[in-house]
Structure 1
Amino acid sequence: MTDNSTRLDHVVLWVRDPAASTAFYQDVLGLEPVRLTEHKNGEAPFPSVRVSDETIIDLMPVARAPRLTMVPGADGSTGHPVNHICLSVTETAFDALLERLRERAVPMSGVSHNSFGARGRAARNVYFRDPDGNVMEVRHYD
């Protein structure tokens, strides 16, 4: 794997209820909330969840869409489709995730094998949706 200085910093997802989405990502994926208290107190426009030391997912309230005018032509882009986000975890974490998805009756795809990704072929991967319909893929490599 190449060690280059470019890294994924964050992904922004449109969500209806940031607190509920944060709970989903915390409870199902085990991701740590960031700025949730500040968001609830009106001190931050949205919460995030931490994927790694260097990467977060921002959970942007869809109600803020009319205010996001910094990119010309971006008005009306709320809910613009993103195909999916993929997270890579350990084999143990993958097994635990499958169990949590089943316990919470979260609809999911079948488990696939040998799907290509950033680190080559993954041993297993699974797809499911968050409460706002964003498609998540989680995989583990050998």
Structure 2
Amino acid sequence: MTDHTTRLDHVVLWVADPVAAAGFYENTVGLEPLNVAEYTEGKVSFPSVRVNEETILDLAPHSLVERMNMLPGSADSAGHPVNHVCLALPSVGFDALRARLAAHGVPVSDIGYDSSGARGNATRNFYFQDPDGNVFEARHYA
């Protein structure tokens, strides 16, 4: 089966410690880690975490900066964060994420309402940061 619709495949996040970052995303955010053992064994350049069957977050160590030469100036992106990445969750997942973040002592913003996004206005949303300062929004749609 060939699917030619445009989708978000991955986002690369700069992190100080990819193994610790993978642990945060697994234990606190609830995402599946990928290639962590392979990274620690030196077989791959970075681990990832799975957002869903189609999207992952790559956890790139700052040491990769010298290999960011795909375009002139690409290496200058190291350490320059994206404003935020948004995770859309079902209502139960939204509540579970907020509870896990609280259990791990991760500060979160107040809950917002009617925030505009890719699928219209979200019922609720909030923001949090990972240990490397990458900002995430969690939301759910009705």
Taking structure 2 as the reference length, the TM-score comes to 0.94
Matched with 1:79 is 79
Matched with 1:41 is 41
* CA drift at 1:70: 1.7
Q: Secondary structure at the match of 1:66?
A: helix
2:77 and 2:116 mapped to 1: Cα distance?
A: 30
1:44 and 1:59 mapped to 2: Cα distance?
A: 12
* CA drift at 1:60: 0.3
Matched with 2:10 is 10
Matched with 1:139 is 139
Q: Secondary structure at the match of 1:128?
A: strand
Query: Which letter does structure 2 place at the counterpart of 1:51?
Result: V
1:60 and 1:25 mapped to 2: Cα distance?
A: 14
Matched with 1:105 is 105
- Larger deviation: 21-30 or 126-135? 21-30
* CA drift at 1:4: 6.8
2:92 and 2:120 mapped to 1: Cα distance?
A: 19
Assess, with a 3 A threshold, how the Cα gap between structure 1 residues 4 and 88 changes in structure 2: closer, same or farther.
farther
1:93 and 1:141 mapped to 2: Cα distance?
A: 12
Query: Which letter does structure 1 place at the counterpart of 2:11?
Result: V
2:78 aligned with 1:93: no
Superposed CA deviations along residues 74-119 of structure 1, whole A, max 9, x for unmatched, are 2332112310000001100111111111111101110111101111
1:109 and 1:33 mapped to 2: Cα distance?
A: 25
1:35 and 1:47 mapped to 2: Cα distance?
A: 5
RMSD, matched Cα: 1.3
After the TM superposition, which parts of structure 1 deviate over 2 Å for at least 4 consecutive aligned residues? none
* CA drift at 1:63: 1.4
Superposed CA deviations along residues 56-76 of structure 1, whole A, max 9, x for unmatched, are 000000111122112112233
1:62 and 1:123 mapped to 2: Cα distance?
A: 36
Query: Which letter does structure 2 place at the counterpart of 1:131?
Result: P
1:10 and 1:131 mapped to 2: Cα distance?
A: 20
* CA drift at 1:31: 0.6
Query: Which letter does structure 1 place at the counterpart of 2:33?
Result: P
Are the counterparts in 1 of residues 15 and 60 from structure 2 also a CA contact under 8 Å? yes
1:21 and 1:81 mapped to 2: Cα distance?
A: 15
Are the counterparts in 1 of residues 29 and 101 from structure 2 also a CA contact under 8 Å? no
Query: Which letter does structure 2 place at the counterpart of 1:122?
Result: A
Question: Which runs of 5 or more residues in structure 1 are unaligned?
Answer: none
